[in-house]
Structure 1
Amino acid sequence: MPYDHSIVKQKPQLLDQQRRQFLKLSALGIAGLGLASLPISAETNTTAAPAKVVPGLQLYTLRDLMSQSVADTLKLVSGVGYTQLEFAGYFDQTPKQIKHIMDNEGLNAPSGHVPLEVMQQNLDLVIEQAQIMGHKFIVLPYLTDEQRKTIDQYKALAAFLNKAGEKIQAAGMQLTYHNHDFEFFKLSGEVPYDVLLNETETRLVQMELDLYWVVKAGLNPLDLFARDPGRFPLWHVKDMDKAGGFADVGKGVIDFKPIFAKANQAGLKHAFVERDQTDNRIETIRQGFSALSTLLA
């Protein structure tokens, strides 16, 4: 489904019930959420080895709460136990403002999603903002219908990504591409994802593998790891229900254990819980943290 990953503005409207729930949670504070049994961010920071992959959260999952209050949402996320974030827009905050909030909550953001048109319009600004935020990865998250009609568009995209990736790498960061399912369906007899893998340089363009969308497309992530080992440093971890829809991690039908057993082959550095749509955001991120912690143990 389409992502709205504006780097400047992203203001989805909260339903009245959602607004009341969020304000109630903010008033109750961390203890009122029943999270006392989960590790706080400071404890996680002091016990995790630097090279260890720890549970991260893609903030698209909480986009309506982020539009209401970035500070309160990040406090909530920290209280669940997350220390690593992936941003999907800055919600009218400057990178400096958000970085200050993250520092106060013991959070960091290894990566951020940036739409293609934003990269094309002002890559220098994207890099500048990413450096302030402390991003190590800049991720292209989604292609609109207009951006992916033909295989030639994917070939042109690959050429752009090579150039952008070189500039991003020179700034000390890595460009990555996030998939959905449409990249695995043939256009003019070619698989778009194959075009992106084959026509971009591995050192310049790596992949953020969304495990749900790979499975949704009928593929096995293990085959991708075997084909291009080390090229998948970022993962989105979301589960699938029996009908093929979204589910909280560990509550669906995807068998994550064999996938995580090949984390080293994939080159995994950061794993982010994500659920595109959920009726219970708090339970989704709590369950995601618990399940992903087990998978990464």
Structure 2
Amino acid sequence: MSLNRRLVLKGLLAAAAAPAWAADRPRIAHPGVQLYTVRDELQRDFRGTLRRIAALGYREVEFAGYFDQSPQAIRALLDSVRLTAPSAHADDRLLGPEGERIIDAALTLGHRYLVIPWVDQAQWRDLDGWKRRADSFNRAGELCRRAGLQFCYHNHHFEFATLQGQRPYDLLLARCDARLVQMELDLCWAVAARQDPLQLLKAHPGRFPLVHLKQLKALPPLQGGDVLSLRMEDAAAQMTEVGPGAVDFAGLLADPASRGIRHFFVEHDQPAEALASIATSLRWLRTLQG
């Protein structure tokens, strides 16, 4: 068995041995951070930032770029500070000829999920384009599946606009093979688009193994109820640390429908002080666990 395959098997066994939920209350056994939150800190001091994240008490990270570090060097660092990286965001190169190389790096790093997090704004209003994208996701999902990985898609707000009587998010859920394409639900962006994340979880059990935890102080404005009128900078201006706000984390995490979630990544797109921000979010999450 190759080294990469052994690393994948090790990750699968570890995940099976560590359930994400306690029976009596919501429990996030392995709190994680989406590293986009600390991108500036990683650029300045990659090794030191990961060490500080581990020292805060986080146990998982989700990458959004590798900052010119080799997969082998990152894996050694993660092991040394007792962090795991079950997931990473990838760009559209995963859907093309570079997919195999990206997957090989993911296996070295111990990822179990590869996530496409974005669609270019020129495609937001193109329903046929969304259909083509769903088909490309199925192809990438099959490539990932053969390597022992799970392909996912991460939402923002624009997937919940209605185009020709259909929402792109519903199209993706229906047109993509559920075995090949799962979803990373960004709770903040879904709520900003006036969606109920809990209803999504209930309607599609087992489809959401990953979530992003970030909060809004208040709902950003929509013009005439048009989801595509939401300016991303207006949403970013309302983002704050995980805690009380527009997203009902406590209610969602306490509901049985949330028990299919395996990984929880704290995120803040524009924190004033990134390390202080993720420390605040982690302290609040711990208050849910009694």
The 2-side partners of 1:140 and 1:266 are apart by 23
Tell me by how many angstroms 1:233 deviates: 0.5
Matches within 5 A, 1:137-216: 137-216=113-192
After TM superposition, give the deviation of residue 252 of structure 1 in Å. 2.8
- Determine helix, strand or coil for the equivalent of 1:85: strand
The aligned counterpart of 1:259 is 252
Distance 1:279 1:121 in 2: 38
Q: CA RMSD in A?
A: 1.6
* Partners of 2:75 and 2:275 in 1: CA distance: 23
Check the 8 A contact 2:198/2:258 in 1, yes or no.
Answer: no
Indicate the residue corresponding to 1:293 in structure 2. 286
Q: Partner residue of 1:274?
A: 267
Contact 1:232 1:266 in 2 (8 A): no
Deviations 1:201-254 (A, max 9, x none): 111110000000010000101110111011111000001012631010014332
Counterpart CA distance in 1 for 2:151 and 2:196 is: 24
Mapped to 2, the partners of 1:296 and 1:267 lie a distance apart of: 18
**Letter of the structure 1 residue corresponding to residue 157 of structure 2:** D
> CA contact under 8 A between 1:112 and 1:137: conserved in structure 2?
yes
DSSP 3-state at the match of 2:96: helix
**What is the deviation of 1:93?**
0.5
Change (3 A) 1:295 1:179: farther
Within the candidate set 206, 222, 226, 1:230 is matched to: 206
Percent identity (aligned): 40
Are the aligned partners of 1:233 and 1:268 in contact in 2 as well (CA < 8 Å)? yes
Superposition pairs of residues 1-297 of structure 1, within 5 angstroms: 50-52=18-20, 53-242=29-218, 244=220, 245-262=238-255, 264-265=257-258, 267-295=260-288
Q: Which amino acid in 2 is paired with 1:134?
A: G
CA distance in 2, matches of 1:222, 1:155: 25
> In structure 2, what is the Cα distance between the partners aligned to 1:123 and 1:147?
22
State how many pairs are aligned. Answer: 249
AA at the equivalent of 1:213: W
- 1-side partners of 2:153 and 2:133: how far apart? 11
What is the CA distance between 1:289 and its match in structure 2?
Answer: 1.3
Amino acid at match of 1:255: D
Contact conserved, 2:157 with 2:190, CA < 8 A, in 1? yes
| Post-superposition offset of 1:133 | 0.6
Deviations 1:24-81 (A, max 9, x none): xxxxxxxxxxxxxxxxxxxxxxxxx612342100000000111112101101101111
SS in 2 for 1:279: coil
CA–CA separation in structure 1 for the residues paired with 2:123 and 2:190: 20
Q: Is the 8 A contact 1:225 1:266 kept in 2?
A: no
Structure 2 CA distance, aligned partners of 1:115 and 1:263?
Answer: 33
Residues 136, 127 of structure 1: alpha-carbon distance in 2 compared, 3 angstrom cutoff: same
2:11 aligned residue: none
Contact 1:119 1:126 in 2 (8 A): no
Residue 295 to residue 233, structure 1, CA distance change in 2 (3 Å): farther
Structure 2's unaligned 5+ residue stretches are 1-16, 21-28, 221-237
Residue 118 of structure 2 contacts residue 155 of structure 2 at CA under 8 Å; is this kept in 1? yes
TM-score relative to the length of structure 2: 0.82
Distance 1:272 1:296, change over 3 A: farther
Equivalent AA in structure 2 for residue 284 of structure 1:
S
